[in-house]
Amino acid sequence: MSLNAESTAFRSALEVIRAVEPRVADAIGAELADQRESLKLIASENYASPATLLAMGNWFSDKYAEGTVGRRFYAGCQNVDTVEALAAEHARELFGAAHAYVQPHSGIDANLVAFWAILADRVESPALKKAQVRQVNELTEADWFALRRELGNQRMLGMSLDAGGHLTHGFRPNISGKMFDQRSYGTDPATGLIDYDKVAEAAREFKPLILVAGYSAYPRKVNFRIMREIADSVGATFMVDMAHFAGLVAGKVFTGDFDPVPHAHIVTTTTHKSLRGPRGGMVLCGPELADQVDRGCPMVLGGPLPHVMAAKAVALAEARRPDFADYAQRIVDNAQALAEGLTGRGAKLVTGGTDNHLVLIDVTGYGLTGRQAEQALLDSGIVTNRNAVPQDPNGAWYTSGIRIGTPALTSRGLGTAEMDATAELIHTVLTQTTSGESKAKYVLDPALADKVSKQASELLTGFPLYPGVDLG
């Protein structure tokens, strides 16, 4: 039997790897098998296409390419220029952005580029102007001292971690919480929704240099027009981190007031998650910040990863196809069906439902911590992650919530009927799990876990993962 191109490519790659380190080849094959058999409900994960995956395994990995297109610090970067320019072109067209910077290695890197671009653009000082026109190694200790004084202690207002924000929006252990004098806005205790009047009040009182919007565990839309108005009212730069919902923006599910690109001064994102590309980051902005953003390397980034930029170009080209808009809408339809299936069975959801790709379950109603629920579900073939809920009594480690999302299962083709069945499996596990003697320990009948795991596997039978890839 002749193999198709995808099977041939991946089989050949594993044979080459196996000849050097068979344990790595085995782990790669085992990962595909595990993903094929599990209900992947981690909201930040997805399945990149074979073309995107293959674009990362090539000779671009061997090339240094510090600088930007046409302005490299290394010779021989003409092919890197081609793929970086293509990735940036697709990003601009896909999101309607004036400028796209596709070098960041991750979402955190993208946020760091944005933070420093804003600081460099907004903070005026002789030392900063000197830094912009001189090589870094020419700056004296006095220059650096002056820069630290000018760039330090600037203020940032972002969404709190327990309300659904991200650790890079000012969480103290993260570099963002150390770079900035930071304050957080939360959500209404009764509804779990953003109270824009409260955000405006906090902005007027705190007067931040940067107002950050975006989330990692907020199950509703954000009105970016209102947030921009708040930023403008205090003279703040408005930054949006759309890493989680970039696919919904690309697929035109989020438009108008809910599309951040027309409203924000600068937008950051990852290229995986709902965008279904390789692991990496990206920054979108207008011309006024473009020069500063393009200095991301060497300001905070190491050398670009040309093989990943090639994969970004492929994934962004895929996202410009008409079928991606249908995919993005099905993500939301599935998330809402999953939420309805859970609430119909008595689960308590933060905000009572969802407008986007994720659902946040408050598992205290089951008598569990998030960590207990996460592991019990994993034992049962359902992959999720624990997550804090607003005013979480268990803190950020044990948590009181489980975050689930639908991008990955939607990529496999599951629909709303399968989401209801998934809700039943989740509810079954959580109702049959009891708390142990600590916030981490729990009791779940192994026979039940095995039964649910088999049911999860059966649910996936009609929706094969990478059906064109046969590893033999």
270 is known as an active-site residue:
yes
In one letter, which amino acid is 384?
A: T
215 is known as an active-site residue:
no
Secondary structure of the chain as H, E, C letters: CCCCHHHHHHHHHHHHHHCCCHHHHHHHHHHHHHHHHCEECCCCCCCCCHHHHHHCCCHHHHCCCCEECCEECCCCCHHHHHHHHHHHHHHHHHHCCCEEECCCCCHHHHHHHHHHHHHHHHCCCHHHHHHHHCCHHHCCHHHHHHHHHHHCCCEEEEECHHHCCCHHHCCCCCHHHHHCEEEEECCCCCCCCCCHHHHHHHHHHHCCCEEEEECCCCCCCCCHHHHHHHHHHCCCEEEEECCCCHHHHHCCCCCHHHCCCCCCCEEEEECCHHHCCCCCEEEEECHHHHHHHCCHHHHCCCCCCHHHHHHHHHHHHHHCCHHHHHHHHHHHHHHHHHHHHHHCCCCEEHHHCCCCCEEEEEHHHHCCCHHHHHHHHHHCCEECEEECCCCCCCHHHHCCEEEEECHHHHHHCCCHHHHHHHHHHHHHHHHHCEECCCCCCEECCHHHHHHHHHHHHHHHCCCCCCCCCCCC
**Active-site option among 155, 273, 330, 386:** 273
Count of Cβ atoms closer than 10 Å to residue 286 Cβ:
15
**Active-site option among 270, 351, 406, 422:** 270
CA–chain centroid gap for 186, Å, is: 20
**Active-site option among 40, 155, 276, 279:** 279
66 is known as an active-site residue:
yes
Contacts of 9 (CB under 8 A, 6+ apart): 50, 54
What is the spatial distance between Cα 101 and Cα 85, in angstroms, rounded to a whole number? Answer: 9
Cα diameter, the chain: 71
**Active-site option among 11, 37, 66, 150:** 66
**Active-site option among 36, 64, 416, 470:** 64
What is the spatial distance between Cα 43 and Cα 237, in angstroms, rounded to a whole number? Answer: 28
451 is known as an active-site residue:
no
Q: Give the active site residues.
A: 64, 66, 241, 270, 273, 279
